[in-house]
A = this chain, B = another copy of it.
Amino acid sequence: MTGTGMLSASVLAAPPPPPLPVLDRPLDAEALAEGLRSFSTSYYANHPFHQLMHEGRLTPRQLQGWVANRLAYQRAIPRKDAAIISNCPDADVRREWMQRIVDHDGTRPTDPKGSPGGIEMWIRLGEALGVPREEMEDERHVLPGVRFAAEAYVTFCKTKPWIEAVASSLTELFAPDLMRKRIAAFPEHYPWIRPEALEYFQSRLVQAPRDSQQGLRLVQQHCTTVESQRRAFEALAFKLEMLWLMIDTIHNAYAE
């Protein structure tokens, strides 16, 4: 009785392993970008829960469980971005990275014409899916596994070199496709959801490409050795694992 064969766990407990390249010499900027993009096969868009979502096969309860839980992740984002800024010695990078915090926390409280911000948009999506604002905000539905995953991401960004935390943000390379699928699928399959509620997905269609280009450029500039490139790939693999764990936890908890 020896391990490996018998010991295979559920295929959903972790994402498909990403194609970590063999790095016997540093990749050029183009090949590095291509290598990072090739990790899309481990993106949580490929998890069955998202496939069911986009095929219109989730129940209102499952959508509600998803939206209420994912708020914990939305709320972690500005904190992880602040952690990156706190570790970064380059004022130009810090200044540019600030926009991400603004995008999530919004500007409306001080500017009536400002943006409500990604977190508030997410709460509104929750309301449109039938979860009262109070139940979103007090996080009563947030599962331990989801909370731990979101906090693991903040801790990663606090404790790793800033450029590795930047590399971990590159799942944004894969986000626009996922947003486009949702924007198409929701009105078609879940017509009871008000279209205005999809504002968050629309906002990410603009922000994610801009942000991922910024992140990719920084990784290309700063990761020019075998060791630093290996760490960039590993950081992205960590983030993909975190997102996958989050959706798998939701999938298990709200299975019908």
Which residues of A line the B interface, CB within 8 A?
1-4, 6-7, 9-10, 13-14, 60-61, 64-65, 68, 130-132, 135, 140-141, 143-145, 148-149, 151-152, 155, 241-242, 244-245, 248-249, 252-255
Contacts and interface: CB of A to CB of B under 8 A. Distances in A.
A132 B2 contact: yes
A131 B2 contact: yes
Number of chain copies forming the complex:
2
Nearest to A1: B130
A145 B245 contact: yes
B144 A252 contact: no
B14 A144 contact: yes
A13 B143 contact: yes
Contacts of A155: 151, 155
B7 A68 contact: yes
A13 B145 contact: yes
A3 B141 contact: yes
Contacts of A4: 135, 140
10 contacts: A2-B135, A3-B130, A3-B141, A7-B61, A7-B141, A9-B65, A13-B252, A13-B253, A145-B148, A148-B245
